[in-house]
Amino acid sequence: MSGPEKNKFTVAVIPGDGIGPEVITVAKRIASAAASKDGVAIDWVEYPFGASHYVTTNEILPESAMAEMGDCDAMMLGAIGSPQVKPGILERGILLTLRFVFDQYVNLRPAKSLPNVPTPVPLCGAVMDSVVIRENTEDLYMGLGEVYDPSLDKLETRLDLERGGYSLRGRLELSISPKMPFAAQVALNTKHGAERITRYACETARDRGENRVTIVTKSNAAPALYGYFEDTAKGVIESEYPGMKWDTANVDALCYHLVRNPVAYGVLLCPNLFGDIVSDLQAGLAGGLGTAAGGNIGDGLSMFEPVHGSAPDIAGSGRANPIAAILSGALMLRHIGLADSAGNVERAVRGYLERSPQGERPFEFGGNASCSRVGDAVLKLI
């Protein structure tokens, strides 16, 4: 029998803001317990970055910390973002920076219904098992944007970005007449970016035993940006994956179809922005954001985090559902080669949901078990 290659792994972790630390505490305990059953220790290296750290120190994410993280086997993150800090500063400064710096070009977001978890649209006994493969480094997220100050002659902003595989430098210049305030944000999809995410989507479909990838698009309204992504994806599928089929869905219609029939789709290949939106919709259809796990995957450091954010509306109340973070921990374990431990975590979550009485279930599913109580119940089944 072959066991894991190493018996010790180092995992960086940013618990972050709001419910982030609450769910990450639980996810760490459960991942550690499952790994330890398989004779493996996880050394968690915790970093304080997030809103309180920023407010007290003015530090967002130092390069020295990123260099250390890069030496770890994987990373986990709770959530970043707080009403205390203007939107975008920390989300871009920490979360997106990590995705970009480590070139985590895949955002893997499975959407699976779970036993006894109520869904807003009845599944009538069917199981929802779909996955968003989201391009994670480009599109409207590239970061070239500016609010125009009408006291100036024109809007002028410079671009200087590094991505895995390319550097992009340039300048955006816009003048408007008559002068009036406006804002502009530019999106970019490269052939390189669209090709590599399409390959990942095709491999995912193959691993699932499927022969179809749905390309999520909006080529009707933005033919340059999304038509290009779509055509590039089709080209890769047709030329590199014999037997693999593609179909396309405009993102607006896809949302409609998903709500009407949540089990109709398998692999959804999305440009960055649509992948963000569709994965929250999928999470809602599968039972709640508290169920939806995710991974930011690249060829270097990969980072695992739930789909949800810091949920300031419930932070500190104990109402956070930790299952998304626990299942993100399972994705992390599988990624570092601990498939058995990952399976153990996933089985424990299912076992807990199959057996626990209503009162012992997360608030999100109509129960009244706190975040840590849910964690204790899952831990017992590891």
Is 81 a residue that touches ligand IPM (CB under 6 A)?
yes
CA nearest 292: which of 364, 227, 348? 364
Quick one: which of 17, 22, 73, 91 contacts ligand IPM (CB under 6 A)? 91
Quick one: which of 117, 289, 297, 378 contacts ligand NAD (CB under 6 A)? 289
DSSP 249-315: EEHHHHHHHHHH-TTS-SEEEE-HHHHHHHHHHHHHHHT-GGG---EEE-SS--EE--SS---TTTT
Cβ closest to ligand IPM, residue 9 vs residue 274 = 274
Residue 308: how many other CB atoms lie within 10 Å: 25
Asked if 123 and 148 touch (Cβ cutoff 8 Å), the reply is no
Residue 13 pairs in a beta bridge with 46, 76
Count of chain residues binding ligand NAD (CB under 6 A): 23
Cβ closest to ligand IPM, residue 96 vs residue 236 = 96
Residue 313 near which of ligand NAD, Mn ion, ligand IPM, none (CB within 5-8 Å, type-dependent): ligand NAD
Q: What is the DSSP letter of 364?
A: G
Quick one: which of 30, 80, 278, 349 contacts ligand NAD (CB under 6 A)? 80
Residue 240, H or E segment: helix 228-240
Count of chain residues binding ligand IPM (CB under 6 A): 7
Asked if 27 and 326 touch (Cβ cutoff 8 Å), the reply is yes
Cβ closest to ligand IPM, residue 95 vs residue 348 = 95
Is 95 a residue that touches ligand IPM (CB under 6 A)?
yes
> What is the contact mask toward ligand NAD in residues 239 to 278, using x (rule: CB under 6 A)?
----------------------------------------
Tokens, residue 243? 């037997």
Interatomic CA distance for residues 150 and 136, integer angstroms? 33
Is 276 a residue that touches ligand IPM (CB under 6 A)?
yes
Is 364 a residue that touches ligand IPM (CB under 6 A)?
no
Cβ closest to ligand IPM, residue 95 vs residue 268 = 95
CA angle 243-248-250, nearest 5°? 170
Q: Which of residues 230-289 bind Mn ion (CB under 5 A)?
A: 276
CA nearest 217: which of 281, 275, 131? 275
Count of chain residues binding Mn ion (CB under 5 A): 1
Is 135 a residue that touches Mn ion (CB under 5 A)?
no
Q: What is the DSSP letter of 352?
A: H
Asked if 16 and 78 touch (Cβ cutoff 8 Å), the reply is yes
Residue 314 near which of ligand NAD, Mn ion, ligand IPM, none (CB within 5-8 Å, type-dependent): ligand NAD
H, E, C per residue of 135-192 = ECCCEEEEEEEEECCCCCCCEEEEEEEEECCEEEEEEEEECCCCCCCCEEEEEECCHH
Q: Which of residues 307-326 bind ligand NAD (CB under 6 A)?
A: 308-314, 320-321, 324
Interatomic CA distance for residues 53 and 45, integer angstroms? 16
Cβ closest to ligand IPM, residue 28 vs residue 134 = 134
Q: Which of residues 130-149 bind ligand NAD (CB under 6 A)?
A: none
- Stretch touching ligand IPM by CB under 6 A, among 70-78, 88-96, 115-123, 231-239: 88-96
Q: Which of residues 13-42 bind ligand NAD (CB under 6 A)?
A: 19, 23
Cβ closest to Mn ion, residue 114 vs residue 289 = 289
Q: What is the DSSP letter of 369?
A: B
Residues within the interface to Mn ion (CB under 5 A): 276
Residues within the interface to ligand NAD (CB under 6 A): 19, 23, 79-82, 87, 91, 95, 289-290, 305, 308-314, 320-321, 324, 364
